[in-house]
Amino acid sequence: MACGFDILGFALRSDGDNSTTSGPGDVVTAREPGSGSEARGPVRIAAIAGDEGRLPLQPERNTAAVAATALIEAEAPDASVNLEIEKRMPLESGLGSSAASAVAAVVAVDALLGLDLPPAALLRYALAGEVLASGGAHADNLAPSLLGGLVLVRSLDPEPDVVALPVPERLTCALARPHTQVNTRESRARLDRHLPLGRAVTQWGNAAALVASLYRNDLELLSRSLVDVVAEPVRGPNVPGFHEAKKAAIHAGALGCSLSGSGPALFALCDGLDRGREVATAMATALEDAVGVDCDRLVSPLPAPGARVIDSGDETQGD
């Protein structure tokens, strides 16, 4: 979330959805192995759909399976499960696709085994999958995927410490995603490991003011604060059309705009759904003109829900 790099994130839902239950997300089905199933460790991936054959079936290389394995080994070492993964989020999009799968897996396995684990434990186990995907321990995607809303990840050590933040009325996210990919692990490797003190202080000031703006319901302060001087200057030039789309978002009335994760998706925060639709269209058009590829758009009222169990009779799913 711009100046909230690695510590601030929010969940998304569909434009105008009053049920607060639908939106972008993955579905993971957890089942007990059949009586004749061959033992293959605590987690076996039975099937993956929607990934165009890109994701590995080997449990040790799959974010959902790694997260589920961490949970089972710690909480139910005698258990074993089969996972079926339905990818509904685009890979390498900057939208937290790997986090969505990891969270859905731990929620599904927790429900299947009847463990009723607290959110902090589920988050800790899901983190194992995110480390595999990105090479770093960060929960700014995992926490909102699990809990919903807009959250601050204060710390992960020794236990996850996540703070739910208030959301100003009418705050809306406009999202545009070009049909290109950015590898998260490679993108993180390009970031500066040593920051000049002045730049660090600027980032701290923006992050603190952004949190203050949420509590004060102050969209003008939010607009001034939604500035990233750490990750965006490094990542932005590697996303074709980023600068053009950001200019278009601001011109269309966005409060602020930045990369979503590593990109290539961009997000903008807006005052109201109508403005959000205008901004999403402006960003998508600018990206399509600059890059020459199709571009998806989404307008999400905030706050939005996180993971949930879908009761489907003989199967338990985490979405």
Spatial separation of the C-alpha atoms in residues 53 and 70, rounded to whole Å: 25
Q: Is the pLDDT of residue 114 over 70?
A: yes
CB burial class (10 A; 0-12, 13-18, 19+) of residue 51? middle
* Domain of residue 112, CATH code: 3.30.230.10
pLDDT of residue 68: 97
In a domain, 265, yes or no: yes
185: left (phi over 0), alpha (psi -120 to 50) or beta: alpha
**Residues 278, 286: contact at Cβ < 8 Å?**
no
* Domain of residue 236, CATH code: 3.30.70.890
pLDDT of residue 21: 38
Whether residue 241 sits in one domain with residue 140? no
Span 147-187, pLDDT tens digits: 999 999 999 888 889 999 999 999 999 999 999 877 767 77
Span 180-210, pLDDT tens digits: 877 767 777 777 778 899 999 999 999 999 9
Spatial separation of the C-alpha atoms in residues 83 and 86, rounded to whole Å: 10
**What are the φ and ψ backbone dihedral angles of 285, each rounded to 5 degrees?**
-65, -45
In a domain, 247, yes or no: yes
Span 67-81, pLDDT tens digits: 999 999 999 999 999
In a domain, 199, yes or no: yes
pLDDT of residue 94: 86
**Residues 225, 4: contact at Cβ < 8 Å?**
no
Span 216-239, pLDDT tens digits: 999 999 999 999 999 999 999 889
Least confident range from 95-109, 170-184, 280-294: namely 170-184
Residue 261 tokens read as 């994760």
In a domain, 2, yes or no: no
Q: Residue 258: CB partners within 8 Å, gap ≥ 6? A: 1, 2, 226, 227, 228, 232, 246, 266, 267
The range of the structural domain enclosing residue 18 comes to: 8-165+305-318
Closest CA to 44 of 64, 26, 25, 27: 64
Q: Is the pLDDT of residue 20 over 70?
A: no
Whether residue 179 sits in one domain with residue 62? no
- pTM of this prediction? 0.89
**Residues 175, 267: contact at Cβ < 8 Å?**
yes
3-class state of residue 256 by DSSP:
strand
pLDDT of residue 314: 44
Whether residue 102 sits in one domain with residue 25? yes
Count how many Cα atoms sit within 13 Å of the Cα of residue 7 in the half-sphere of its side chain. 16
Whether residue 99 sits in one domain with residue 240? no
